[in-house]
């Protein structure tokens, strides 16, 4: 398995992508193609005591970098020799099995859609992070790629999220819920009330395990394995979870740092605190799958360190070997508003 890594993408590039890739190569045995300015990549390696490229690691030179100030819709066209464009073209040409970038989300989405292309029949690609829940995590789809969605988008998100939860997270018959303000079928906007009976029918026919509407509280508690949402609602849900996690972590730290007794108490429960921090750390997951693209693409967080990039590469490896893209391709007709039943 060969993973193509954007060595120039993210706040901590090229240090984090390069060293994360080296760690992934050593730990997971995957081959790596580092895409970016060759001299800067080699300097990072040398600064970390690595004089020669490890076995299974190669560099694909790209002279340009897509910056955060660039127009995300056109940057990959205007900077044809950017690490983003070169890397995705390598993926398109079959020179690697998956692509990982911590660069601009908008630029990655636009470039992946227009260069690598969507799976035939998929209307829009969606961002599908795994968010922490009481049931060990759930796939949230979409979380910002598509702010406004017609019903067909959400139908396709439900199927793609279900396949991802089954094949990558290892959840047999994953429970699919439609994010809403109440459990009743009549709740929500016209989008939710239109989509609900369609997903219900798909559930009755055994095509997905739709369990109904799910409120944000129940979703966090772990009621479902897949949370289906339009990108606007999904992004609010995701950012609220991230903010709540940061708030709780800060307040818990303040509570335990009050005096000597609370510090001793913190020492006694340090194992549990570390476990809580790990559960809430997005770097543990690594990145967000871009579902609906014809080849595996992972968007790592812009602030990813080497550890997070290593985990994003692990996730890309799982994604590429899962068969989910083939599964989506084979079943895309079932995701239409008037599904064609296959023999």
Tokens representing 249 are 């972590």
Taking CA atoms, 251 is separated from 109, 256, 257, 266, in Å, by 36, 9, 10, 13
Ramachandran angles phi, psi of 137, nearest 5°: 110, 150
- Name the 3-class secondary structure at 154: helix
**Residues 126, 142: Cα–Cα separation, whole Å:** 5
Q: Does one domain contain both 35 and 167?
A: no
* 14 prior amide bond cis, ω within 30: yes
Distance between CA atoms of 58 and 277, rounded to whole angstroms? 34
> How many other CB atoms are there within 10 angstroms of residue 37's CB atom?
18
What single-letter DSSP state applies at residue 293? B
155 with 274, same domain?
Answer: yes
Whether the CB-CB separation of 318 and 163 falls below 8 Å is answered with no
Local structure of residue 317 (DSSP, 8 states): H
- CATH code, domain carrying 13: 3.40.718.10
Beta bridge partners of 32: 3, 57
Range of the domain at 245: 129-284
Largest Cα–Cα distance in the chain? 69
Q: 303 and 179, same structural domain?
A: no
**341 band by pLDDT with thresholds 50, 70 and 90:** very low
Q: pTM of the predicted model, to two decimals? A: 0.90
* Per-residue confidence (pLDDT) for residue 267, from 0 to 100: 83
Rounded mean pLDDT, 245-270: 85
Task: Write out pLDDT tens, residues 209-253.
Answer: 999 999 999 999 999 999 999 999 999 999 999 888 888 888 888
Please report the DSSP string for 81-99 in residue order: TBHHHHHHHHHHTTS-SEE
- pLDDT above 50 for 339: no
Closest CA relative to residue 99, chosen from 62, 138, 136: 62
Please check whether residues 185 and 87 belong to one and the same domain.
no
What does the DSSP 8-state code read for residue 333? Answer: G
For 261, counting Cβ atoms within 10 Å of its Cβ (0-12 exposed, 13-18 middle, 19+ buried), the class is exposed
278 shares its domain with 342 = no
Cβ burial of 118 (10 Å; 0-12, 13-18, 19+) is middle
Indicate the residue among 241, 268, 284 that finishes a domain. Answer: 284
User: Same domain for 271 and 321?
Assistant: no
Q: Which two tokens stand for residue 163?
A: 């396949």
- Residue 282's pLDDT is 62
152/226 same-domain check: yes
Total of domains in the chain: 2
CA-to-CA distance for 183 and 261, rounded, in angstroms? Answer: 45
Q: Are 151 and 113 members of one domain?
A: no
Residue 93: band (very low, low, confident or very high) from pLDDT cuts 50, 70, 90:
very high
């Amino acid at each position: 398995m060969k993973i193509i890594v954007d060595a120039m993408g993210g706040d901590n590039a090229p240090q984090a992508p390069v060293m994360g890739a080296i760690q992934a190569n050593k730990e997971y045995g995957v081959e790596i193609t580092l895409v970016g300015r060759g001299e800067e990549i080699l300097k990072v390696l040398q600064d970390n005591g690595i004089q020669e490229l490890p076995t299974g690691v190669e560099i694909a030179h790209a002279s340009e970098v897509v910056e955060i100030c660039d127009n995300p819709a056109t940057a990959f066209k205007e900077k044809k020799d950017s690490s983003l464009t070169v890397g995705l073209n390598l993926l398109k040409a079959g020179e690697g099995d998956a692509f990982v970038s911590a660069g601009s989300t908008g630029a990655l989405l636009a470039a992946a859609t227009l260069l690598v292309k969507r799976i035939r029949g998929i209307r829009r690609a969606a961002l599908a992070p795994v968010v922490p829940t009481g049931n060990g995590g759930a796939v949230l789809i979409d979380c910002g790629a598509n702010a406004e969605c017609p019903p067909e988008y959400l139908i396709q998100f439900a199927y793609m999220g279900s396949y991802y939860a089954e094949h990558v997270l290892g959840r047999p018959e994953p429970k699919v819920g439609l994010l809403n303000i109440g459990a009743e079928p009549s709740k929500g906007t016209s989008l939710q009330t239109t989509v609900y009976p369609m997903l219900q029918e798909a559930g009755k026919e055994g095509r997905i395990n739709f369990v109904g509407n799910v409120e944000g509280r129940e979703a966090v508690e772990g009621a479902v394995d897949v949370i289906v949402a339009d990108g606007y609602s999904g992004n609010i849900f995701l950012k609220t979870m991230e903010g709540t996690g940061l708030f709780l972590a800060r307040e818990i730290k303040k509570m335990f740092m009050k005096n000597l007794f609370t510090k001793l108490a913190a020492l006694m429960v340090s194992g549990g605190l570390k476990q809580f921090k790990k559960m809430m750390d997005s770097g543990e997951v690594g990145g967000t799958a871009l579902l609906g693209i014809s080849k595996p693409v992972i968007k790592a967080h812009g602030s990813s360190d080497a550890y997070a990039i290593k985990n994003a590469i692990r996730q890309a490896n799982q994604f590429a070997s899962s068969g989910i893209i083939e599964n989506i391709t084979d079943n895309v007709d079932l995701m239409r508003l008037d599904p064609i039943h296959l023999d």
